Amino acid sequence: MNMLSISHLTLTARLGGQSVEVLRDVSLKLERGKVLGLVGESGAGKSMIGRVIAGHIPTGFEVTKGRIVFDDTDLLALNRKAWRRLLGRRIAFVPQEPLTALNPVLTIGQTFAEHLAHLGVPAAERRPLMLQQLDSVHLPNPTELVHRYPHELSGGQCQRVLIAMAFAANPALIVADEPTTALDVVSQANVLRLLAEQRRTHQTAMLLITHDLRLASHVCDDIAVLYAGEQVEYGQATEVLRRSRHPYTWALDHATPDVHGPQRQADARCVDTGRDQRVPVCGALPAKPGGVHGSAAGACGARQRPLGALHLSARGRGSHAYGCR
């Protein structure tokens, strides 16, 4: 059963007197207890999807088409008060930049207590629950840590605090927005391992936003690749990585250096015709008037089938779809 279903989501911005579609016709599904990865370069629209789910749509932007259904509730039909009741309780967030996500003038204990108060936890129960959560994410000496400030912790420790806060209410959905940004390699691995552990313990579905296709393939059940606000490939994680159909996905994978392999040029294939024909992939997102990204079709020079008329390759438990406008 689907925990989250996004259908034909279109987000439009008014810039310079023009209406520009920042997200175009995005459709995703996330089952209970599963992990869906949103992958793409900076500016592709990944984090904007998370902001729409949270109801934090920037001024000047509006959803002009589509639905977001969470656990049989249409989020876009909720008023602000009802939406806020879901956030932190049924839907929780793990933000990027952990050192800046925590209030620098409050101790870890004060910040955590404020969060628990928002969740409606009685005052007498907050400290025991806080210590229990901090211990569950393997932070040493929680009774001492709650008196420390964010700048006294490492980036990895701050991220563990945020993960502990996110899982405090046993949410049904976690939105993790680039949770390993600004962390060293060891801390990245520990944070991902911790997220997987907590997700299994709480049976929580997770939407993982990342620019790293290979990382997503190891963590996620399914992957959706976004480019310039459009969904260009969608399928089972191992299928998308090993048999990428869209040239942009192929190029995104090959943008990660292989330190053990031979040197190679970061170009792409036109796989739509089944030939190994090389086509250009531009290094930056195409622009429309007003500086907003344009169609993904110009990215690869390959006019493939629109995603609305899916090219399906049934393998395993899911389908593999790709295409551009």
Q: Does residue 58 register a pLDDT over 60?
A: yes
Q: Does residue 215 register a pLDDT over 90?
A: no
Going by C-alpha positions, the residue among 270, 290, 225, 309 that lies closest to residue 22 is 290
Is the pTM higher than 0.85?
no
Structure tokens at 272: 């739509």
Average confidence (pLDDT) over 171-188: 87
For residue 184, the model assigns a pLDDT of 82
Q: Does residue 280 register a pLDDT over 50?
A: no
For 201-237, the DSSP string reads HHT-EEEEEES-HHHHHHH-SEEEEEETTEEEEEEEH
For residue 224, the model assigns a pLDDT of 94
Q: Does residue 269 register a pLDDT over 50?
A: no
Q: Which residue has the higher pLDDT, 273 or 45?
A: 45
Q: Does residue 91 register a pLDDT over 70?
A: yes
Q: Which residue has the higher pLDDT, 207 or 245?
A: 207
Q: Can you name the residues that pair with 173 across neighbouring β-strands?
A: 91, 205
Q: Does residue 45 register a pLDDT over 80?
A: yes
Q: Compute how many other C-beta atoms are within 10 angstroms of the C-beta atom of residue 276.
A: 8
Structure tokens at 235: 């399928």
Q: How far apart are the two ends of the chain, measured CA to CA in Å? A: 30
Q: Compute how many other C-beta atoms are within 10 angstroms of the C-beta atom of residue 216.
A: 24
For residue 70, the model assigns a pLDDT of 94
For residue 251, the model assigns a pLDDT of 83
Structure tokens at 94: 């793990």
Average confidence (pLDDT) over 78-99: 88
Contact 212, 189 (CB under 8 A): no
> What are the φ and ψ backbone dihedral angles of 101, each rounded to 5 degrees?
-75, -25
Least confident of 64-73, 174-183, 261-270, 273-282: 273-282
Residues 6+ apart with CB under 8 A from 226: 26, 38, 39, 40, 44, 45, 46, 232
Least confident of 234-243, 260-269, 292-301: 292-301
Of the pLDDT bands very low, low, confident and very high (cuts 50, 70, 90), residue 187 is confident
What mean pLDDT, rounded, does the chain reach? Answer: 82
Find the Cα–Cα–Cα–Cα dihedral 43, 86, 194, 105, rounded to 10°. 80
Task: Please classify residue 168 by burial: count the beta carbons closer than 10 Å to its beta carbon, then call 0-12 exposed, 13-18 middle and 19+ buried.
Answer: buried
For residue 263, the model assigns a pLDDT of 62
Structure tokens at 211: 């620019």
Contact 156, 191 (CB under 8 A): yes
Q: Does residue 314 register a pLDDT over 60?
A: no
Of the pLDDT bands very low, low, confident and very high (cuts 50, 70, 90), residue 325 is low
Structure tokens at 20: 């520009």
Q: Does residue 208 register a pLDDT over 50?
A: yes
